[in-house]
Amino acid sequence: MHTQRTIMLIVLAVFLAGIAAVVGVIWWLGLGLGAIVIVGAAVVLAVVYVRVIRPLYLRWGATDEEVTMAMPGDDLVPDTDPATRAIGIAAQPEDVWPWLVQLGFGKAGWYSYDWIDNDGHPSAEEVIPEYQTLNVGDQILMMPEMGFTVTSVDPDRSIVSMLDDGSTSWCLGLYADGDGATRLVSRWRPKFERTPANYVMTILAEPGTFIMEQRMLRTIRNRVESQPHRKS
């Protein structure tokens, strides 16, 4: 359970750092002034986060057209605020596809930060033949007993899956970009009950998801482009 333990430790560290900052400000400025400064800083940070930071990471690397275009699986979780991220890869879609099919815990890993993902085991640096079959109903695990169930597979084009609890859909799409290039587009469509607890969890989870996914997309690009047999 390395992955789960690491994530819990990261969340705990962030929480403790926040508590330490609050205590430090109050100790330095006193309870009255410290409380005013803390509330003011929280309001400013909230505005900057909502207006500037969040819109940027929800569409990292994606063009305006990619953000607004329809993708497979959009109908699975409608009426939500999706995240669409993308990256260009100097290869054909069929050269990128094998790296997507083998994604997941216990398979090729997540091509992200290995000290967090895949129980600390390095992600694959090559295409693994035994993981090249993906069918509807298969799972793409994030960690043991937790992940996404595949709902559709369109070879060399897209993989659509749903989180086990049905709250989030995820599509990985490949789009030829001319001159032998491909756009790899990832779209998440989460939907949750609007409660204070869920808002807090979203604030904690979204930045972490972005940090992990941008690394995943960049690693897939680098590994595909490093293959000597790739098409141009």
Identify the CATH homologous superfamily for domain 61-225.
START domain (3.30.530.20)
- Determine contact, residues 2/105, Cβ cutoff 8 Å: no
> Would you give per-residue pLDDT tens digits along the chain (232 residues)?
455 566 566 667 777 777 888 788 778 888 888 788 888 888 888 788 888 888 999 999 999 999 999 999 999 998 888 999 999 999 999 999 999 999 999 899 999 988 777 777 889 999 999 999 999 999 999 887 788 999 999 999 999 999 988 889 999 999 998 788 999 999 999 887 666 666 666 667 788 889 999 999 999 999 999 986 544 4
- Determine contact, residues 214/186, Cβ cutoff 8 Å: no
Q: Give the CA count within 13 Å in the CB-facing half-sphere of 213.
A: 24
What does the domain layout of the chain look like in residue ranges?
Answer: 1-58, 61-225
